[in-house]
Amino acid sequence: MTKADRARIDEALRRAEEGTSARIAVRIVPDAKIDALERAKAEFMGRSMHEHPGANAALILVAPKARSFAVLGDRTLHERVGQSFWDETVAQMSRSFVSGTPTDAILLGIERLGDAFHLHFASEAS
């Protein structure tokens, strides 16, 4: 990942979280063989994201060498957006990810999460 890619991701994160109480973490791992969902769960717990006030944090984990990724959200976020949100987000991100543009996939995931944050958590901003 280039510095320009990281800057684009950082800016997208700022916009997604701005004015909300929700938080997103992006984790890029170098592993060539990985169960992305299991690793995302471990990262979520290891980063204490499950303790975020409001239970509305999300994690995007990407393993480019394994051509794998996962998107994980805490319970309140999941309750508000529903399973179809996650299914659609993964499907949309998959198209970019499979075509070899993981940064675009990450940006798409952040944008979708940001839209959900602004819809469901804007009035709860701290």
Give the start-to-end residue ranges of the domains of the chain. Answer: 3-120
In this prediction, residues 4-23 reach a mean pLDDT of 96
The model's pTM is 0.92
Alpha-carbon span 79 to 82, nearest angstrom? 6
Spell out the CATH class of 3-120.
alpha beta
Instruction: Give the whole-angstrom CA distance, residue 67 versus residue 74.
Output: 24
Cβ(68)–Cβ(34) below 8 Å: yes
- The yes-or-no verdict on residue 126 having pLDDT over 50 is no
Please state, rounded to an integer, the average pLDDT across all residues of the chain.
93
**Among 58, 52, 76, which Cα is nearest to 126's?**
52
- Tell me the per-residue pLDDT of 95-114, one tens digit each, with 9 for 90 and over: 988 887 899 999 999 999 99
Share in percent of the chain as helix, strand, coil (round to 5): 60, 15, 25
Query: pLDDT per residue over 77-89, tens digit each?
Result: 999 999 999 999 9
Q: What is the pLDDT of residue 97?
A: 85
CB-based burial, 63-83: b 16+ in 10 Å, e otherwise: bbebebbbbbbbebbbebbee
In this structure, what DSSP letter does residue 21 have?
S
Residues 6+ apart with CB under 8 A from 5: 103
Whether residue 16 is predicted with pLDDT greater than 90 in this model: the reply is yes
- For 19, other C-beta atoms within 10 Å of its C-beta total 15
